[in-house]
């Protein structure tokens, strides 16, 4: 059996009395949040007191933990950001992600990234690493390099407010079975955290990692070290500049020889969806596939549209912002993309339906939730711009900027 000595046990591994204690604590915590919401209109007492605490500790934020930037390194299109989370941060399970929050010109900008470093790095040195793909027009990544890097190099970090949310996500190793890990691009980051946290391996693991060009290959040193440490770990690198993309034939023999294997897929959503279908066609059980992806194309009709099968219709969007009214047309994809394409600057964070920063008032119109496929009713309601696609004319109220 594969043994992953992850010192953080999953919930179902805890003794029953411990689970009961946890559920009572969870219930008490919910009651406390409810009381705070009713009495203070805040999720917690500490949120209520935040303005006062910030008079003494200007970097304090109630819902996030402060983190100190220890190092920033650049590697062909990626940034490796090493952070020392403050005492309030509760740790992570390898494979989970966090929200990184920077304050840029007084505005909190947040993005979600998987932790790429091992649990041991956190336990022994109190550090975590985020490996972030640079976006040419990305506010977060350009800020990291233009503003944070010089501050790190000059040793003037105390003035740099960086915050972290609690680590969340269920893309973590749970099964003690043979593993097939398929990763593309920056999708390798949670898988690197998982594998580099393993201390003993007793079942075979095959990792196939696709990247575009040798310079974009992440964690090269670490792969060498892991392969020499674990004879049962096989790693195949697929440099798509040198050979064609990964094909079902590349994993077929493995799937046939390890019918009980658990599969972890991580990469752009198109990659994850394609591979999910290919693995099902190879006879892999759907319940054996876990996936984490970025982008929203995991919704079938979006994939079809991306392949040119059918162009979604464009709908008029009326935007009310303080006393102004503007009319635009929807573009392909989410309402957030349509607004940005028209020159609006709505708030957003993760662009994946997690952080709720893009929450917006819809006055009327039908929208589809791109994650669940659920269709709203036609009347007023709150929607997340990043995961809502119009299905009719829509009227929105945006907060004044």
Binding site for ligand FES (CB under 6 A): 348-351, 353-358, 384, 386
For the beta carbon of residue 85, count every other beta carbon within 10 angstroms.
22
Shortest distance, CB of residue 246 to ligand FES, whole angstroms? Answer: 30
Q: List the beta strands (DSSP E) in 38-184.
A: 65-75, 78-85, 97-104, 107-114, 128-133, 162-164, 179-184
Q: What is the 3-state secondary structure (H, E, C) of 54-94?
A: HHHCCCCCCCCEEEEEEEEEEECCEEEEEEEECCCCCCCCC
Shortest distance, CB of residue 383 to ligand FES, whole angstroms? Answer: 10
Shortest distance, CB of residue 238 to ligand FES, whole angstroms? Answer: 31
What H or E segment, with its residue span, contains residue 33? Answer: helix 16-40
Identify which of residues 61 and 351 has a Cβ nearer to ligand FES in the complex: 351
Say how far apart CA 164 and CA 172 lie, in whole Å: 19
Shortest distance, CB of residue 334 to ligand FES, whole angstroms? Answer: 8
Identify which of residues 294 and 348 has a Cβ nearer to ligand FES in the complex: 348
Beta strands 179-184 and 262-268 are parallel
Shortest distance, CB of residue 170 to ligand FES, whole angstroms? Answer: 18
Identify which of residues 217 and 371 has a Cβ nearer to ligand FES in the complex: 371
Please, what's the largest Cα pairwise distance for the chain?
67
Shortest distance, CB of residue 252 to ligand FES, whole angstroms? Answer: 38
Identify which of residues 188 and 350 has a Cβ nearer to ligand FES in the complex: 350
Shortest distance, CB of residue 56 to ligand FES, whole angstroms? Answer: 31
**3-state SS class at 361:** strand
Give the neighbor-by-neighbor strand order of the sheet with 65-75: 107-114, 97-104, 162-164, 65-75, 78-85, 128-133
Identify which of residues 121 and 335 has a Cβ nearer to ligand FES in the complex: 335
Identify which of residues 265 and 355 has a Cβ nearer to ligand FES in the complex: 355
Burial of 217 (0-12, 13-18, 19+ CB in 10 A): middle
Identify which of residues 205 and 355 has a Cβ nearer to ligand FES in the complex: 355
Shortest distance, CB of residue 355 to ligand FES, whole angstroms? Answer: 4
Identify which of residues 178 and 346 has a Cβ nearer to ligand FES in the complex: 346
Distance of CA 234 to the CA centre of its chain: 26
User: Between the CA of residue 175 and those of 180, 193, 290, what are the distances in Å?
Assistant: 12, 16, 11
Say how far apart CA 69 and CA 143 lie, in whole Å: 13
């Amino acid at each position: 059996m594969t043994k992953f000595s992850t010192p953080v046990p999953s919930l179902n591994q805890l003794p029953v009395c411990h689970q009961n204690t946890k559920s009572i604590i969870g219930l008490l915590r919910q009651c406390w949040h409810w009381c705070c919401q009713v009495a203070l209109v805040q999720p917690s007492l500490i949120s209520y007191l935040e303005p006062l605490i910030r008079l003494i500790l200007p970097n304090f934020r109630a819902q996030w933990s402060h983190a100190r930037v220890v190092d920033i390194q650049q590697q062909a299109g990626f940034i490796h950001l090493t952070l020392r989370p403050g005492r309030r941060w509760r740790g992570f399970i390898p494979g989970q992600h966090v929200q990184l929050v920077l304050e840029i010109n007084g505005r909190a900008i947040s993005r979600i990234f998987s932790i790429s470093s091992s649990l041991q790095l956190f336990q022994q040195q109190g550090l975590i690493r985020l490996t972030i793909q640079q976006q040419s027009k990305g506010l977060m990544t350009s800020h990291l390099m233009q503003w944070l890097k010089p501050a790190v190099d000059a040793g003037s970090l105390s003035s740099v407010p960086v915050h972290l949310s609690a680590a969340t996500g269920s893309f973590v190793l749970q099964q003690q079975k043979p593993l097939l890990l398929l990763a593309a691009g920056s999708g390798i980051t949670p898988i690197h955290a998982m594998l580099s946290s393993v201390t003993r391996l007793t079942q075979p693991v095959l990792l196939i990692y696709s990247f575009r060009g040798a310079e974009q290959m992440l964690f090269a040193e670490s792969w060498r070290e892991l392969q020499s440490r674990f004879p049962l770990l096989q790693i195949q690198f697929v440099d798509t500049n040198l050979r064609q993309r990964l094909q079902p034939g590349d994993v077929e023999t493995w799937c046939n020889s390890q019918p009980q294997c658990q599969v972890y897929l991580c990469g752009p959503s198109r990659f994850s969806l394609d591979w999910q279908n290919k693995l099902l066609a190879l006879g892999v059980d759907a319940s054996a596939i876990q996936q984490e992806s970025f982008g929203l194309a995991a919704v079938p009709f979006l994939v079809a549209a991306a392949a040119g099968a059918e162009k979604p219709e464009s709908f008029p969007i009326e935007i009310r912002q303080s006393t102004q009214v503007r009319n635009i047309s929807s573009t392909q994809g989410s309402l957030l993309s349509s607004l940005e394409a028209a020159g609006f600057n709505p708030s957003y964070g993760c662009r994946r339906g997690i952080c709720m920063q893009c929450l917006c008032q819809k006055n009327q119109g039908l929208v589809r939730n791109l994650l669940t496929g659920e269709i709203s009713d036609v009347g007023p309601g709150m929607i997340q711009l990043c995961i809502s696609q119009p299905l009719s004319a829509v009227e929105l109220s945006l907060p004044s900027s």
